[in-house]
């Protein structure tokens, strides 16, 4: 089975979707799993051992090329990469017009997403072939897991203690972090002052 995960960004949204990726890989170890992501947020998925193919897109360039008189070479290359596999299923975790349209453009035979009340942009339902209902007020991690359950019919964790967030960390980065911890030899804190919204700063 060839499965396409559509979760373009942001980094936090991608992290929230990782337990769904983990559930798919555990239930379907021989499936070919691809993930389409914005180039600007792709680094967090690079070297992930659970992903067979990472497809990076620039949706701004794609929209600009498709909707204007600009050269279509870059958008065509992106579409070619997207359609390189004959996907059986695409799962749109984002619920936006751009994510649903990318899922549809992938050529997947079936495109799964949320029912209209669970979509961030309800008009994106037009691009879906199957819709999965998830109760309101469901945490975004479990919302993604219920979408996977509805789309693939596989068991998914319901206990927060059993959630896995697989991230591929290169050996050189692990070595560097271990070396720094050894050098410090005392309790420490890590501050990350960046964020996409003023409320996260």
- 151 in any annotated domain: yes
At 11-26, the pLDDT tens digits run 899 999 999 999 999 9
- 28 in any annotated domain: yes
What CATH number does residue 66 fall under?
A: 3.40.50.2000
- Rounded CA-CA distance 49/154 in Å is 20
In the prediction, which pLDDT does 62 show? 62
In the prediction, which pLDDT does 190 show? 83
Instruction: Tell me the three state secondary structure of residue 158.
Output: coil
- 178 in any annotated domain: no
- Rounded CA-CA distance 190/188 in Å is 7
Cα angle: 200, vertex 44, 19; to 5 degrees: 85
In the prediction, which pLDDT does 59 show? 82
Phi, psi of 41 (to 5 degrees): -120, 15
In the prediction, which pLDDT does 58 show? 87
In the prediction, which pLDDT does 84 show? 79
At 142-197, the pLDDT tens digits run 999 999 999 999 999 999 999 999 998 889 999 999 999 999 988 988 887 777 77
Q: 183: which DSSP letter?
A: H
- 137 in any annotated domain: yes
- 61 in any annotated domain: yes
Domain range for 89 is 2-169
- 25 in any annotated domain: yes
At 40-93, the pLDDT tens digits run 899 999 999 999 999 999 887 666 655 555 545 566 777 777 887 889 999 999
- 186 in any annotated domain: no
- 89 in any annotated domain: yes
- Rounded CA-CA distance 36/112 in Å is 15
In the prediction, which pLDDT does 10 show? 87
Tokens of 140: 């975004």
How many domains does the chain fold into?
1
């Amino acid at each position: 089975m060839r499965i396409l995960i559509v979760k373009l960004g942001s980094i936090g949204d991608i992290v929230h979707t990782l337990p769904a990726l983990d559930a798919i890989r555990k239930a379907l170890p021989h499936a070919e799993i691809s993930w389409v992501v914005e180039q600007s947020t792709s680094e967090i998925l690079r070297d992930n051992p659970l992903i067979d193919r990472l497809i990076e897109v620039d949706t701004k360039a794609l929209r600009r090329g498709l909707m204007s008189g600009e050269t279509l070479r870059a958008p065509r290359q992106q579409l070619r990469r997207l359609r390189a596999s004959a996907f059986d299923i695409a799962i749109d975790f984002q619920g936006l017009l751009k994510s649903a349209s990318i899922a549809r453009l992938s050529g997947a035979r079936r495109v799964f997403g949320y029912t209209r009340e669970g979509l961030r942009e309800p008009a994106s339902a037009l691009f879906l072939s199957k819709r999965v209902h998830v109760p309101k007020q469901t945490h975004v991690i479990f919302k993604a897991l219920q979408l996977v359950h509805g789309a693939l019919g596989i068991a998914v964790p319901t206990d927060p203690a059993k959630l896995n967030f697989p991230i591929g960390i290169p050996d050189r980065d692990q070595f560097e972090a271990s070396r720094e911890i050894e050098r410090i030899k005392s309790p420490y804190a890590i501050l990350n002052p960046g964020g996409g919204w003023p409320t996260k700063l």
